Amino acid sequence: MDLPPRIWFQLRRLKKTFESAWGPRGQSYDTSHRMCPHCRALIERGASVCPLCGGRLRGARARTSNDGPERVLGVIPIPSTATSVIIGANVLFYVLAWYLTAQSGASSGMGGISGEVLYRLGAKSGLAIRLGHQWWRLVTAIFLHAGLLHIGMNLWCLMDLGPEVESLFTTPKFVVLYLVTGVFGFVLSTWWSLGVSVGASGSIMGLIGILIGASFHHGSLGKHYRGMLWRWVIYILAFGLLPFFAVDNAAHIGGLVSGLVLGYFVPQGEEETRVGENLWTALAVLAVIIMAGSFALMALQLNSPLQ
């Protein structure tokens, strides 16, 4: 029995996405077709009229490539759009933190960052958030890292996962999902501990959770990829239990759980109506404003006495 066009299209798109992220390199997300919003048939991406139902279609948004994210040496995916901006922001704040650490004379090997510098730049601190009501730290902490190995591992994962989630859910949705999962991770971390922590790993676990949540809509195919993703989750959480690494597993779990919920309930792909498209664009703009506002509040207290 033939599958309905919408289900067939979603299964094909999910399969391509996961093959690009976890399968053999060279296979990637296919953007040469899209779904007709009227009859759900799979049609050519550039079509202005559906050949099956005759419905008129809005012009499809341009993609940077029909073969998914480009890769350096066929291995390292080159981030695009929002993923690139987020990676750039992480690198920028790491360089700033490293410079301030060097200026204070507290620099260490492997690009280690001073705890005082991280605190001043907006690290998550349970005391500052609960007692000082500095809620902006739930956002700024996502973009800070404690050392070269820390940021290197996180950006490696983000370069691989970011373009895949962004292609599957669109750029506006990706911006919102990245921020929400990261913030939720640090909310759980704040509830669990009053200590200081930083890093993008809550959002990265959120991206894994989003892909797992989305896979529940795709039958046996989704079950296969879900098994691979759960193994990654186990590896990351087990790594966080090692005694010689200071890992915020509460932030990891918070990001993962929120990602699972969002991945299950947030529709994949482009919105079918102008209202839905405008809503997600507005939410993405709001997310950017929240991020910019959080760093503005951080800058205002940069030289304040430590609490």
Residues annotated catalytic, as ranges: 201, 252
- For strands 71-72 and 76-77, give the pairing: antiparallel
Distance, CA of 95 to CA of 97 (rounded, Å): 5
CB count within 10 Å of CB 187 equals 19
230, two tokens: 């759960």
Inter-CA distances, 189 with 23, 90, 113, 166, 199, Å:
33, 20, 21, 26, 12
DSSP 128-167: HHHTT--TTHHHHGGG--SSHHHHHHHHHHHHHHHHHHHH
